[in-house]
Structure 1
Amino acid sequence: MTRLIIWRHGNTDWNAEGRVQGQTDVPLNDLGRSQAATAAPLLAGLEPAAIYSSDLRRARHTADALAALTGLPVAEDARLRERHYGLFQGLTNPEIAERFPAEFARWNGGNPDVGAEVERNDEVGKRVGEALREIADRHPGKVVVVATHGGAARQGFGDVLAWPADVMAAIRPLQNCHWTELADTPHRGWQLRAHNVGPWPEKAIPAPV
């Protein structure tokens, strides 16, 4: 049975400020590094065979905390990047609502065509899902950890599971340094085994960006 552990990066200053990061390359802050160091031993206990990461620093440095314990290299894949939020990147929700009211309403309403140069969710799911399937195919029967981003994780595993958009909209986003586990089972294919797993109790859910 192949298992994918899809791990959201640790906290950043933009997470703390409620700013949309998207594909802006924001590094981990002190809290994020601490979160990665706390979560890494739990993931190391799963005995992963490989570690993959988005090439954005907040994901890569999260993956590095696990690599330091396991001795495994980290393979970067740009397809694991967060959703590109276009003109929203760097702004808070109130700033987006003020500057782009129509687009903000479409975003909150789940419209796939947000505008403002925001990447469509189905496009995010397709590129991340493709990466996840290829990674799984390289490591049959193994545990693989994939460090990525909140929105990318959700859309990517939704694509692997072939879940429709309305189901994905009902899934709560990952907390920082929490993960989703998928398993490719012999008779039923890909299944969701766990979601929002991490080393501390669930609290307020930050924006998955």
Structure 2
Amino acid sequence: MYSSLLQRAKHTAHIISDSIYIPVIEDFRLRERANWGDIPDQTFDEFVALWDKCTQERDYVPSQGDSARMAGDRLALCLSDISFKYPESSTIIVTHGGLITDFLINVISESELDQVHPNFIHLQTCLVKECSITIVSFEKDHFTLIDFANTSHL
């Protein structure tokens, strides 16, 4: 099990970890593209405006953080590294909704994403609910989306 370093993800990861008796490995690559508080004195409204700009302009790099494309590439590399390290295992990743959609937009075609949810790219910021589960497989250097933002367990 791997987790983002942010407290909200670590807390969730440890709840899961305690129930299935596996350790949590924190990985810096599982952070969001940007977080409120990364820029000193940034208001929440300023953060939301920055987030929206990064979402609309996937190659825009904020003064603190990564572009949406860079963040998606970072998660793809992290997942492929983990897959190569544990080729016969399933892995639990506890990360953030924005990073998940950044990743999916990078590795899954827009037409496939629109089958999951119409107008996926435009609506991406509101599609991943807290504690939802997205399942992705990685085989032969290819990611396949199995299930997206499932909340049936809640």
TM over 0.5: yes
The equivalent of 1:131 in structure 2 is 78
More helix by share: 2
- Secondary structure at 2:130 match in 1: coil
Cα offset, 1:162, TM superposition:
5.1
Offset of residue 141 of structure 1: 2.8
Q: Any conservation in 1 of the 2:105–2:121 contact (CA below 8 Å)?
A: no
Distance 2:51 2:39 in 1: 15
Work out whether residues 107 and 114 of structure 1, in 8 Å CA contact, stay in contact via their aligned partners in 2: no
TM-score by length of 1: 0.55
CA distance in 2 between counterparts of 1:89 and 1:108 reads 19
CA distance in structure 1 between the aligned counterparts of 2:43 and 2:94, rounded to whole angstroms: 24
- Report which structure shows greater RCO (CA 8 Å, sep ≥6): 1
Q: Aligned partners of 2:2 and 2:51: how far apart in 1?
A: 35
Change (3 A) 1:116 1:134: closer
In the alignment, structure 2 segments of 5+ residues that lack a partner are 114-119
What letter corresponds to residue 128 of structure 2 in structure 1? L
Question: Matches of 2:24 and 2:15 in 1, distance apart?
Answer: 10
Q: Report the CA distance between 1:89 and its aligned residue.
A: 8.4
Structure 1 runs of 4+ with >6 Å offset: none
Cα RMSD, aligned residues only: 3.2
User: How much identity, in percent, do the aligned residues show?
Assistant: 22
Find the residue that maps to 1:119 and give its secondary structure.
coil
Contact 1:106 1:114 in 2 (8 A): no
Q: What is the count of residue pairs matched by the alignment?
A: 140
**Normalized against structure 2, the TM-score is what?**
0.72
Letter of the 2:95 partner, please give it: T
